Amino acid sequence: GAVVSQHPSRVICKSGTSVKIECRSLDFQATTMFWYRQFPKQSLMLMATSNEGSKATYEQGVEKDKFLINHASLTLSTLTVTSAHPEDSSFYICSAVSPGLAGNEQFFGPGTRLTVL
Amino acid sequence: EDQVTQSPEALRLQEGESSSLNCSYTVSGLRGLFWYRQDPGKGPEFLFTLYSAGEEKEKERLKATLTKKESFLHITAPKPEDSATYLCAVRGRGSTLGRLYFGRGTQLTVWP
């Protein structure tokens, strides 16, 4: 149980295009989902927290107009990187948590590798 | 602000050579200390949650312990398949919506 999936696992795009990443909780309802990015040999940096049906809460320094987050249902959150540039190339990981599920642990998706040319 | 420091940054062990990874933390009202394993190019895999000083949890060759200031992840007789980055994270009383604060991780390499 407690499986989180991400799609796509890898994407390469041209500079200026937008990329959408999906995060799904497969066997539980996630009231809260988190989006992280991770640079090589660095730890996870929280970008934003999203709750189903409400606006995402962004961390300081994260541009909300560039990284659009939609948490449309209890099993799906999407991150759209708008007008992507090479500096947006990174490993994006989502996680999901459900109150009462396994002590409120966060369960992580497998990540999405974004490369912007 | 909640903070997590992990040491060492990297650790190389020979197969069978037991050792420990350290996670020092500063948090206002601990609501959980979490250990994750992360393989290259993959998301973190949940290992343990510890809630109070003195608590211990075990899983195969791994054992996590917790004091009021730090946690240790003990690896007994490691095997090459234990090679990964081990991440420590904390959740504090003031944690908004359950967010975690992560350390930079310890990259463990176990060679045959």
Contact A6 B44 (CB under 8 A): no
Beta bridge partners of B101: B90
Q: Which of A26-35, A94-103, B27-36 has the least mean pLDDT?
A: A94-103
- The predicted pLDDT at position A5 comes to 95
- Write down the mean pLDDT value for chain A: 90
Strands B30-38, B45-50: pairing is antiparallel
- In the numeric block, the tokens 């933390």 are attached to B25
Contact A109 B44 (CB under 8 A): no
- The predicted pLDDT at position A4 comes to 93
- Residue B78 phi/psi, 5-degree rounding, is -65, 155
Q: Residue B44: list chain A partners with CB under 8 A.
A: 44, 93, 108
Contacts of A63 (CB under 8 A, 6+ apart): none
A20-66 pLDDT, tens digit per residue, is 999 999 988 888 899 999 988 788 999 999 988 888 999 999 999 99
Contact A106 B104 (CB under 8 A): no
Burial class (CB in 10 A: 0-12, 13-18, 19+), A7: middle
